[in-house]
Structure 1
Amino acid sequence: MLSAFLLLGYLCGSVPFGVLLTRWLRGVDVRASGSGNIGATNVTRVAGKKLGAVVLLLDALKAVLPVALAVHYLPGDAKAHALVGLAAVLGHVYPVWLKLQGGKGVASALGVLVVLVPKAALAGAIIYGLVVARWRVSSVGSLSAAVVAIATAFLTAPSREYVLLTAGLFVLMLWTHRSNLLRLARRTEHRL
């Protein structure tokens, strides 16, 4: 049964809402504009704040669904819940439909944490909002939020597996943000 949930997590995570919605509603390919990323931040740059917010919500919900189902049908199996969450985020980062060229995984990670460690999700979301409001740099907000989410998960998560997942998602975000980190070091990072 776990393998079915892992596949569901990956396939849900791999739905490229940023690509689909910008193409359907604006007639543009988000991958060919702005930073070229398929996530909510670039959709905001390319197609506006409203569509960016919709993509953010959908990218989070596509991770909420498989994780919530795993929690419901595999109660008490924290390792399974964490693996399904990881599969959903990996689906977003490496979607089969886009030749494994996906987003950074931030919104999907938020969706996973909403289900498994809601206090960490809330703390991360607040920090993201504060950092972006102050410095207008999404990558700094995302990575700051991830650090706060790890600390909050360490203090509040109901299982060690959820803490390890939160830390693992941070490591994945460091990888997906490697070009952002380089631009930050050069002081050429994109602003919102």
Structure 2
Amino acid sequence: MRTEFLFVGNALRNIRRNFRRNFNLGGNFMEYVLAVVIGYLFGCSNMAFYVSKFKKINLNKEGTGALTTSNTVTQVGWKAGLLVFFHDVFKAVFAILLMKLLFPDVTLAHWLTGFSAVLGHIFPFYNKFKGGKGHATCVGVIYTMAPLYALSMTPVVIAVILLTNYIIFGSFTTSLAITVYLFCTSQWLAGIFSLVILGVIIWKHIENIKRIINGTEKKVLTAFKKKKTDENNENQ
């Protein structure tokens, strides 16, 4: 019986050792916990929420009902939209850079920080977990973690948006690009996490997909031109 217990114990230790080696877990549990907390808190900062309060426009009820760059552009204006976009990008950048400063060698923690920032952006605790849809924050993640790859993918994402005339497909392309990069570079556990994020982002866009099918989703260029025309009329 003692021999059998020793055999089982050794087998479990080997499984744990192989799991840690294959998925680069090491002994960095606390670093991963800190990465999730820091990433989520950074991600919860939502400029669209602040803009809506300042402009006294409830973006949770107007337009698409989401705290996103596109909804800010259509409901407030393109200048406010740019502010929201860059804020959503750089909150992921700063969160990841902070983790890189604290734990420069724990790459998985850096990815976890970025993914948690995306989740914080989508599910902010202070707004009944109703936030954005993750596109701009994903841009910040990929540009910080794989800048050269991100640069090479940027024309592809822009082309997808312009050809389809829908931002939603650019969002999917960005998220998918992160997943492809991680699996192609054998970062398996981070790749699995990125698949979860991709699934969440697709789920958050279900209503957009339905509107595209029904032909009621606002197109990028149409919405931009309409808002610009409205602003020009107000200034006359």
TM-score over 0.5 for the alignment? yes
Does 1:23 pair with 2:53? yes
Letter in 2 for 1:189: E
Bigger Cα displacement from structure 2, 89-98 vs 70-79: 70-79
Q: Does 1:182 align with 2:210?
A: yes
Instruction: Give the alignment's Cα RMSD to 1 decimal.
Output: 2.2
Distance verdict in 2 for CA 1:35–1:164, change over 3 Å: same
Q: Matches of residues 109-188 of structure 1 in structure 2 within 5 Å?
A: 109-155=138-184, 157=185, 159-188=187-216
Alignment partner of 1:6 is 2:31? no
Query: Structure 2: which 5+ runs fail to align?
Result: 1-29, 221-236
Q: Distance in 2 between matches of 1:76 and 1:6?
A: 17
**Quick one: structure 1 residues 118 and 187, their matched pair in 2 at CA, closer, same or farther if it must change by over 3 Å?**
same
SS in 1 for 2:52: helix
Q: How does 1:13-162 map to 2 (within 5 A)?
A: 13-24=43-54, 26-155=55-184, 157=185, 159-162=187-190
d(CA) in 2 for partners of 1:34 and 1:124?
29
Instruction: Tell me which amino acid in the other structure corresponds to 2:133.
Output: K
Q: Give the CA deviation at 1:162.
A: 4.5
Q: Which has the larger radius of gyration?
A: 2
Matched length: 190
Is residue 30–residue 42 contact of structure 1 (8 Å, CA) maintained in 2?
A: yes
Paired with 1:158 and 1:118, the residues of 2 have a C-alpha distance of: 18
Matched-pair contact (CA < 8 Å) for 1:123–1:148:
no
Range that drifts further, 158-167 or 180-189:
158-167
- Structure 2 distance, partners of 1:181, 1:31, is 19
Question: Residue 38 of structure 1: CA displacement?
Answer: 0.3
Asked if the contact 1:139/1:180 (under 8 Å) is kept, the reply is yes
Shift in alpha-carbon separation, 1:164–1:121, aligned structure 2, 3 A: farther
The TM-score, its normalising length taken from structure 1, stands at: 0.86
Deviates most, 167-176 or 121-130: 121-130
Q: Distance in 1 between matches of 2:88 and 2:156?
A: 19
Q: CA deviation at 1:124?
A: 4.3
Q: Which moved more, 1:177-186 or 1:10-19?
A: 177-186
Cα contact 1:153–1:162 (8 A) shared by 2: yes
Paired with 2:189 and 2:104, the residues of 1 have a C-alpha distance of 14
SS at match of 1:188: coil
How far, CA to CA, are the matches of 2:146 and 2:192 in structure 1?
Answer: 12
Identity %: 26
Q: Are the aligned partners of 2:93 and 2:141 in contact in 1 as well (CA < 8 Å)? A: yes
